[in-house]
A and B are shown apart, each in its own frame.
Chain A
Amino acid sequence: MPVGPIHRDLPSTAFFDGTARGELLLRRCTACGHLCEPSTMTCPSCTGRTFDATPAAGGGRVVSWTVVHTRNGAGTVRTPVALVELDEGPWLEGQLVDVEPDRISTAMGVRVDFERAEGGEAIPVFRIV
C-alpha cells in the first residue's frame, strides 16, 4: 500500500519542512553533538535539551522488518516496513519501497527517499541499495 496521509503539528514543523525539500532532519544536541532521532526532546547521551537540525546523509541498514498484511476487496496487500538504523545512529520506521517482500533481509543497506500521500506531508521511505 502507498504511504498514508499525515499532517504536521507544532513539534514536527521543521521536520516536515525538511522532508518537503528532500532532507531527513536529525536533531544534533548542542551540548554534546550527539545525533538524535527527529522527535527527541532530551538527548539520550547527555540529557541536553537544545538541538540543531542536521540533515542525515541518507544511508542506513535494516535493524528489523515486517511485512504487514491488509485485506481489501481484491485480496491481501503486503506492505514491507523496516526499522532502520541510519548511519548516524538514530532509528526510524519507514516503508521499504520498490522491493519484493521475499527479498528483504535484516542488515540490508538502505537509502532514504521521500513519498507523500495526496493532501499530506512527505515522509521518509527506504530503498534497498
Chain B
Amino acid sequence: MSDPVPAPHRRPVIAGLGITDMTRRIYGRTAPEFAVDAVRLALDDAGLELGDVQGLLTNAGITRGIGLSLQKDLGLRDLRLLSEIQAYGSSAGAMVQYASMAVSSGMVDVVVCVFADAPLQEGGGTGDAYAASRATPAGFSAIPYASGLRGAPSMYALAARRHMDTYGTTSEQFGAVAVAAREWAALNPLAQMREPITLADHQASRRIAEPLHLLDCCLVSNGAVALVITSGDRAAGLRQPPVHVLGWGQAHPGYVRERGSEFGLVSGATRSGPEALKMAGVTIQDVDVAEIYDCFTYTTVVSLEDYGFCEKGEGGPLAASGALGPNGTLRVNTGGGELSSYYLWGMTPLSEAVIQARGQGGARQSARHDVVLVSGNGGILDYHSTLVLSPHPHA
C-alpha cells in the first residue's frame, strides 16, 4: 500500500466554514437558497471568491433539494470537479474525504462541500416532514411504514431498545446525554435550544416512539452548512487558521436482517474510527474533542462505545456519570450537537469540530484542541464516516 500521507504542500486543509442562521426556524426559503448563502459565507470566511472555486460537492437532505444545478445557482463556471454525494448522515465526512483526496492528488486546489435541507414547513411537525418523505407507497420497502413505523425515530427506537435489553442501558442514561447536550448549547450562540433542561424534563417529555422521548430526538432544521477544502500551501495565505484533515475512514457494515445480526448493538465506528486515527498517527487517548453524530441520544451512547471512549455497553453509565457535560471529563458535542443546536446531518458535528480546532468556540472552547474527532452516522447505523482534524499538520 502506498503512503496515505500526501506531499506537504498538497495536504488537505479546511479553510472556510459557512453556517446559515439556525437559532430560529426559518420558513419560506428553499434548500438551494440556503446552500447558496452557506457557500458564500464559507468563501467569505476563507477570504476566497466564487471564481476561486474549482470543485463542488453537494449533499442533499431528506427533501432532495440540492444537486448538480447548484453550480448554476452559484454562477460557477468551468468546474473541474462536480458531484452529488449521498451517504446519509455519513455524507459530510465523506465529502471532506473526497475533497481532500482531490486536493491531495493535485486534481483541484479549492473544493466547496455543501449540505442543505428545508424539511420544516410552517405549522407542520418535524416528524411529519421526515416520515412523509420516507413513505414509499409500494413494495417491500413500504412494509415498515404500513406496519406503523414512522421514520427514523421509530427505527432508532428499535435499535435503542436492543441496546437497553442487551447492556442494561436505561432511558435515564439517554436523558443524561440530552441534559449534557443542552448544557453545551447554553454556551453556543449558534444553538437553537439554549434553555437548561433536567433529567425530569427529559423523562416528562412526550413519547415519540417508545423508549424514545421528544428530548431524545434531534432538532430537524432548515438551513445549510458549507466548507472550503484546499491545500496547506493555498491555505497559508488565507483568512482563517487552517484546520488540517489528518485522517479519515468510512465503514458501512451492511447488517443482515436475520439471526445473529448486530443491529442496534454496534455501529460502523468500530471500523472507521481506528482507520481514521491510524491515518492521523494518533490514538483514541489523544482525542481532545469528539463531535459525535447525535440524531438521537442513543446514537451518542453507541458511538462513544464503538470509538473506544468506554467499554462496550458502558456508554449509558458513562453519560450518567456526567462525563459529557461542560463540567465533565470528556469534551463531547461541545456545541450542543444535533439534539440542542441544530440538525443538519453530518455537518452539525463537522461544523463544531472546525470551530473547536480553530480555537474559536468562545465560552464553550475546549482548552485542548489538538486532535478533534468527527463522527458521521447515517441510515439506522448503516453508514459511518470518521474524520480526525487538527490545527497542526501531520507530525
Give the B-binding residues of A (Cβ under 8 A).
1, 3-9, 11-12, 15, 36-39, 44, 63-70, 76, 79-81, 83, 85, 89-95, 101, 106, 117, 120, 123-125
B258 touching A91, Cβ below 8 Å? yes
Q: Which residues of B contact A125 (CB under 8 A)?
A: 147
Chain B residue, CB-CB nearest to A66 = B157
Q: How far apart are B167's CB and chain A's nearest CB, in angstroms?
A: 13
A64 touching B138, Cβ below 8 Å? no
Chain A residue, CB-CB nearest to B143 = A123
For residue B189, CB closer than 8 A to chain A, the reply is: no
A68 touching B158, Cβ below 8 Å? no
Chain A residue, CB-CB nearest to B210 = A67
The contact sample of 8 A-B pairs, CB cut-off 8 A, is A4-B145, A6-B137, A6-B146, A64-B159, A65-B161, A90-B258, A91-B257, A101-B210
Q: Which residues of A contact B148 (CB under 8 A)?
A: 1, 3-4, 68, 79-81, 95
Q: Indicate which residue in A15, A36, A70 contacts B140 across the interface (CB closer than 8 Å).
A: A15
Number of A-B contacts (CB under 8 A): 115
B261 touching A91, Cβ below 8 Å? yes
Chain B, 184-225, CB within 8 A of any chain A CB? 206-212
B138 touching A8, Cβ below 8 Å? yes
Q: Which residues of A contact B134 (CB under 8 A)?
A: none
B159 touching A123, Cβ below 8 Å? no
Chain B, 96-153, CB within 8 A of any chain A CB? 137-150
B157-171 near A? 1/0 per residue, CB < 8 Å: 111011001000000
Chain A residue, CB-CB nearest to B127 = A70
User: A89-B258, A95-B147, A123-B147 known; A64 and B264 CB under 8 Å?
Assistant: yes
Majority secondary structure of chain A interface residues (helix, strand, loop or mixed): strand
Give the A-binding residues of B (Cβ under 8 A).
137-150, 154, 157-159, 161-162, 165, 206-212, 256-259, 261, 263-264
Interface centre among A39, A83, A85, A117 (most CB of B within 10 A): A83
Q: How far is the CA of A38 from the CA of B143 in the complex (A)?
A: 11
Q: How far is the CA of A63 from the CA of B138 in the complex (A)?
A: 25
User: A9-B138, A9-B139, A89-B259 known; A64 and B145 CB under 8 Å?
Assistant: no
Q: How far apart are B317's CB and chain A's nearest CB, in angstroms?
A: 21
Chain A residue, CB-CB nearest to B140 = A39
Q: How far apart are B182's CB and chain A's nearest CB, in angstroms?
A: 22
User: A81-B148, A106-B165 known; A68 and B143 CB under 8 Å?
Assistant: no
